[in-house]
Amino acid sequence: MLYGSEILTAAQMRAIESEAMDSGEVTGLTLMERAGAAIAGQIRLRWPKPGQATVLCGPGNNGGDGYAIARLLAQAGWSLRVLGLDNTPGANAAEMKRRWLETGPIAPLTESELHDSPASDVFIDAIFGTGLTRPPEGRIAAVLHKLGRMTGGSSRASLVTVDCPSGLCMDSGRWLGSGNGGKGAGPVPLEAALTVAFDSPKPGHLLDQGPAACGKLVIADIGLRRWREDGRPPSLSAIWPEFPIPDRRICSIRERARAVLDKGISAKGPAGHKYSYGHALIVAGASGHGGAARLTARAALRSGAGLVTICPPHPALSEHAGYPDALMRRGLDHAAGLQAILTDPRISALCIGPGCGVDRAVTFLPAVLEQPRPCVLDADALTALARSPDWPRALSGHHVLTPHGGEFARLFPDLAAKLGETSARGPAFSRVDATREAARRCGAVILLKGPDTVIAAPDGRACIHSAFDVPWLATAGSGDVLAGLITGFLARGLAPMEAAAFGAFVHARAARRFGPGLIADDLPEQLPGVFRDLGL
Ligand SMILES: NC(=O)C1=CN([C@@H]2O[C@H](COP(=O)(O)OP(=O)(O)OC[C@H]3O[C@@H](n4cnc5c(N)ncnc54)[C@H](OP(=O)(O)O)[C@@H]3O)[C@@H](O)[C@H]2O)[C@H](O)CC1
Ligand SMILES: [K+]
């Protein structure tokens, strides 16, 4: 499995925190002090000259962190205005509140007090963290609304959030009380410059509205590693461009990439020949639609598969002449023809869908699905699949489905509808929940495309691949290239979950390497450089 870093849900984080405290080796107050120090440190790193800060403290331990931050910044010469609630929080937060009161006053946490605050270099949102259970309402909703307006848009540089922007569900990256896309009855979504979270990223930092809301994400080590690393494999991990946690057992993407490829039965080595690296077959479509399948085939070739054959109908063969000459072409008109080709045991993976045409995919799907080779189903094949009754029964663990949101909705309309519903209680249903459930139902690996691509296996393993930093990857044909990469890695012998995760990773690396102005044709050409950069 290709891991970037482990992701913990809010409940898992709480459990680890409790375990640490129960051990007697660390107290909750120490953890809170470390959390406060980590955030105060990050603020001082970015604003080295002491300035004016306004800290908004909520009812629980997130608020406790806020009081600790206020005290530490005041000790460092900052001017502070602290807004808080007239409540008695849990013991640790109460102690932090008491310590702050030795330094300065607490104004009521209201919209008008926030409005009257002196101009601030930094606003610190310590209202809700992992303990958010429902959408903010009433007075706190009004405060968040005001905070969003004061720090959004061009002034967003001044908002720092403790653990997460308040109101954001840490398990889903959705604003509680809002429908899909952050719209609905919730507060003005906050747009932070910086979010400092503790120990591990949470799904909500990387999914859906989370990345836009969090801004720059920093993960602070508060000394919980020993209780986190209990030997169990992570059930959810992230692959993302930045790896801010250097001590993680799963941090080095280069090492992981090498290990993943070495595990493939056909890792390229000095003694290999082309058939050792697999043979990928791409079912292409009729004349006029050849580009998509050829992008897939070129990506499969560049992924390191030993041979790639593209199979359009005979009349369309001429359309595929020319570059790349390494690509093999073979006419394919009937399902029986496919069965004949597949008597060659050296064909080690298939792809059907890109540029295939839905009718042709309908014709070929039964023959593709009934044989045991690993196979990527993309684009038109997913539309064709959704049309066949009881389709989940035709799939199994060697199939990889790569739907975008629309294709996912065709295959799993109930899950897509649930993702669009307004969540009145946390945790909200997430893209990880939806993808995991989809994989479980059909027994195949599902890769749900997006800037927050989620990959899930039927056994519950899941991975988020974050590519919010490469918006230019959303270009025509980009998905065809991804399908080709995964097919190539399958042909080389990677397990379906690994092939999908590694495909997503390499795909985004290629886009990142090229930069803006990218078209899908550029992606396969970037792959040699990507592999070289990874030392593969
Ligand atoms: N991870 C760690 O090891 C550490 C985390 N720290 C910080 O602690 C918070 C989590 O603290 P917690 O107290 O569990 O939760 P919150 O502070 O986020 O909020 C809990 C209180 O808020 C109430 N609540 C929840 N939703 C709403 C709402 N919509 N409106 C009003 N009030 C709400 C909730 O009340 P309930 O009625 O739901 O019980 C709680 O009173 C974590 O994020 C970190 O910042 C530690 O400081 C360091 C270790
Ligand atoms: K917060």
Residue located nearest, by CA, to atom 25 of ligand 1:
132
Name residues contacting ligand 1 (CB within 6 A): 13, 17, 31-32, 35, 58-65, 128-136, 140, 162-163, 198, 222, 224
Average pLDDT, stretch 351-377? 96
pTM: 0.93
- Do 228 and 305 lie in one domain? The reply is no
- Do 224 and 285 lie in one domain? The reply is no
- Do 205 and 308 lie in one domain? The reply is no
Q: What is the CATH number of the domain that holds 80?
A: 3.40.50.10260
Residue 448: inside a domain, yes or no? yes
Only one residue has tokens 């290629």, namely 510
User: What domain range is 312 assigned to?
Assistant: 274-421+434-533
On whether 163 is known to bind a ligand per the annotation, the reply is: yes
Give the span between the Cα atoms of 190 and 105, in whole angstroms. 26
When pLDDT is cut at 50, 70 and 90, the band that residue 251 belongs to is very low
Residue 372: inside a domain, yes or no? yes
User: For the segment 489-520, what is each residue's pLDDT rounded down to a tens digit?
Assistant: 999 999 999 999 999 999 999 999 999 999 99
- Do 220 and 288 lie in one domain? The reply is no
Of the listed ranges 8-12, 231-235, 308-312, the one predicted with least confidence: 231-235
Structurally, how many domains does the chain consist of?
2
- Do 221 and 301 lie in one domain? The reply is no
**Backbone phi and psi for residue 79, each to the nearest 5 degrees, phi listed first:** -95, 135
* Tokens representing residue 58 in the block: 């909520």
- Do 161 and 91 lie in one domain? The reply is yes
End-to-end CA distance of the chain: 17
53 touches 123 (CB < 8 A): yes
- Do 26 and 167 lie in one domain? The reply is yes
Residue 238: inside a domain, yes or no? no
Residue 226: inside a domain, yes or no? yes
- Do 370 and 512 lie in one domain? The reply is yes
Of the listed ranges 117-121, 188-192, 238-242, 377-381, the one predicted with least confidence: 238-242
User: For the segment 208-250, what is each residue's pLDDT rounded down to a tens digit?
Assistant: 999 999 999 999 999 998 898 776 667 788 876 654 333 444 4
Crossing angle for the helix pair 413-420 and 431-442, to the nearest 10 degrees: 170
CA dihedral 251, 257, 259, 261 (to 10 degrees): 170
Question: What ipTM describes this predicted complex?
Answer: 0.98
Secondary structure letter of residue 175 according to DSSP? B
Percent of the chain with pLDDT over 70: 89
- How many angstroms separate the alpha carbon of residue 61 from the centre of ligand 1? 5
Residue 289: inside a domain, yes or no? yes
Residue 352: inside a domain, yes or no? yes
- Do 157 and 63 lie in one domain? The reply is yes
- Do 197 and 284 lie in one domain? The reply is no
User: For the segment 161-187, what is each residue's pLDDT rounded down to a tens digit?
Assistant: 999 999 999 999 999 987 655 444 455
Cβ contacts of 515 within 8 Å, gap of 6 or more: 472
Which ligand minimizes its atom distance to the CA of 129? 1
Q: What is the CATH number of the domain that holds 325?
A: 3.40.1190.20
Secondary structure class of 334 (helix, strand, coil): coil
- How many angstroms separate the alpha carbon of residue 228 from the centre of ligand 2? 23
- Do 32 and 157 lie in one domain? The reply is yes
